[in-house]
A = this chain, B = another copy of it.
C-alpha cells in the first residue's frame, strides 16, 4: 500500500516529464495521465461517482485500465484527482481580475459576469459539484489547497463591499459570504438545474438569447441586492 502510493507519486512526476518526449513520438500533447483525467472528468460528471465505470473510462482513452490504477490507485483516487483538478482550474476567478482598480459597482458587475460565464462554459464542473453534494461532500472537504483559495475570494469580495459601503453606494448589512451565496446560487442554478427546470417550466435555459437575458438580469439582481 505504501509502495503503491510511492509508485503513483513517482509516476505522476514521471508522466509530467514524459509529455515532451512522448508528444514528439506520438505527435500528441497529452500524457496518458492527463488523458485519463480528461476522460474521467466527463465520465464522472455525466454518471456520478458510482455510475461511472472504470472500464468505460479506460476504453475511451488510448491507454488501458491498468494505467488508471497505476496513476490513481483506485476509482476513488481518480475521482479525487478529477475533483481537485476541476476545482483548481477555477483558480479563484476573482484573482484574475484586478477588482481593486475598479469602482465597487463595476467590480461587482465583473465578478458576477465572470462567475456566470465560468459556470455556463463549464457544465462538467457544475455537474461534478452536484455529484459531490449528493455524496455529502466527502471529498471536497479534504481539498485543503482549494479551501485556502476560496477564503481569498471572500477577502477580495469583502474589500469591494467595504469600498462600496464607504462610498455610500452599498448598504452595510450584507456580508461577503451572503453576496457570494447570492451570486453563486443565481449563476449555478441555471446550469445545474437546466434539465429539470427546463422540463418543468418548458423552456430552454441553454438558448443563447435566454442566456444573454439572464446574464444581464443576474448582474442587475445582485446590484439591486447590494444597493444602499
A interface residues, Cβ below 8 angstroms from B: 45-51, 127, 129-134, 136-137, 140-141, 146-147, 150-151, 154, 174, 177-178, 180-182, 184-186, 188-190, 192-203, 214, 217, 220-221, 224-225, 227
Chain B residues with Cβ under 8 A from A50's Cβ? 47-48, 50-51
* Chain B residue at minimum C-beta to C-beta distance from A221: B225
Q: List 5 A-B contacts (CB under 8 A).
A: A127-B133, A133-B193, A151-B201, A177-B201, A185-B188
- Known: A49-B51, A130-B134, A188-B193; 10 extra A-B contacts, CB below 8 A, are A45-B134, A50-B50, A127-B133, A130-B133, A130-B192, A131-B134, A150-B200, A151-B202, A185-B188, A220-B225
Chain B residues with Cβ under 8 A from A178's Cβ? 214, 217
Identify which of B48, B136, B147, B192 contacts A202 (C-beta below 8 A). B147
> Is there contact, CB below 8 Å, between B182 and A150?
no
Identify which of B150, B174, B192 contacts A133 (C-beta below 8 A). B192
Identical copies in the complex: 2
Which of A188, A199, A227 has most B Cβ within 10 Å? A199
> Is there contact, CB below 8 Å, between B184 and A197?
yes
> Is there contact, CB below 8 Å, between A200 and B48?
no
> Is there contact, CB below 8 Å, between A198 and B49?
no
**Shortest distance from the beta carbon of A53 to any chain B beta carbon, whole Å:** 10
**Shortest distance from the beta carbon of A26 to any chain B beta carbon, whole Å:** 33
**Shortest distance from the beta carbon of A31 to any chain B beta carbon, whole Å:** 29
